[in-house]
Amino acid sequence: MDGGEMNFGERLALRMDDLGPVAVGIDPHAGLLDSWGLADTAAGVREFGLRTVDALWERAAAFKPQSAFFERHAAAGVAALEDVMEHCRQSGVPTILDVKRGDIGSTMDGYADAYLSGPLRADAITVSPYLGPGSLEATARRAAAGGQGLFVLALTSNPEGAQLQHVGGEGASVAGEVIRSVSEWNQALAPGEVGPFGLVVGATIGGAARELAIDLGDFPGIYLAPGVGAQGASGSDVREVFGNARVLASASRSILGGGPSEEGLRQGLARTLDSVGG
């Protein structure tokens, strides 16, 4: 990257400062499709995604399509996701494609080919570090070189995550090692700045970070925080978990449940922004 060019994290941080810290999850599951009067088909998920982008592109800090809800419709669903990703690019809104991929060697290179280039190209993708954070380093370098980013799973919003992520306990947990590794990547690429690599830490984790002796305020990047809204976390929970750290709250049903009207979607986003203090 050129020394004067902002990295993904810096660009996203500026947009968060301007529009508020909420990523709109594009999650066309069957219940939402039905409430919008759309068929649970590839055509339905495509229409759902395009309408969401059209309604919120001027107001959302980022869009976070959930790949699984498109993939379940096989090749036609992936084609629908390509169209939604292109629509996001045309709107100028950063995309975080939620794919949670994680593998080694040439297989991970293949995932990078799929999601960091070509018709599914995203500004950032979610990745899993549980083959070891080092297994993601080549993908991280590739993302940074293209002005893109990664969000690495660390302390997730689902209660089952603690069974693995908390192993090792205070000062030596699995989650702590993930956070340390990603912090080092950011410090190496963007010392003193917001780095291009973020962490997925749930807004529903309560005091888990403190119990594991993890200082979330030390991380030189952006947290992606699922769990806000329909999953039960409020703006006060976000502030309790993260303090003054830079957090992008991810919300889907609490926003998309206001659809299919443009005004309903915008009101849903406004309520979520009010909740998290945006």
**pLDDT recorded at residue 260:** 95
Its sign, for the CA torsion 131, 137, 142, 146, is positive
Backbone angles phi, psi at 243, to 5 degrees: 60, -125
Q: Are 67 and 99 in contact (CB under 8 A)?
A: yes
State how far the alpha carbon of 248 is from the alpha carbons of 21, 27, 54, 78, 97, in Å.
5, 17, 21, 26, 14
Q: What is the pLDDT of residue 237?
A: 84
CA distance 127 to 100: 4
HSE value, Cβ hemisphere, 13 Å, CA-based, for 91:
24
CA–CA dist 123, 37 (Å, integer)? 30
Give this prediction's pTM. 0.95
Residues 6+ apart with CB under 8 A from 167: 173, 174
Gyration radius of the chain's alpha carbons: 18
Three-state SS for 24?
strand
Per DSSP, helices labelled H in 127-173 are 137-145, 162-165
Strand partners, 183: none
Kindly list the averaged pLDDT for each block of 10 residues, start to end, along the chain of length 278: 76 97 96 97 98 98 98 98 98 98 97 97 98 96 97 94 94 96 96 96 93 94 86 77 93 92 96 84
Residues 194-210 as b/e (b if ≥16 CB within 10 A, e otherwise) read: bbbbbbbbbbbbeebbe
Amino acid at site 146:
G
Give catalytic residues, as residue numbers. Answer: 100
Q: Distance of CA 118 to CAs 83, 111, 115, 123, Å?
A: 12, 11, 7, 12
What pLDDT sits at residue 1? 39
One-letter identity of residue 18: D
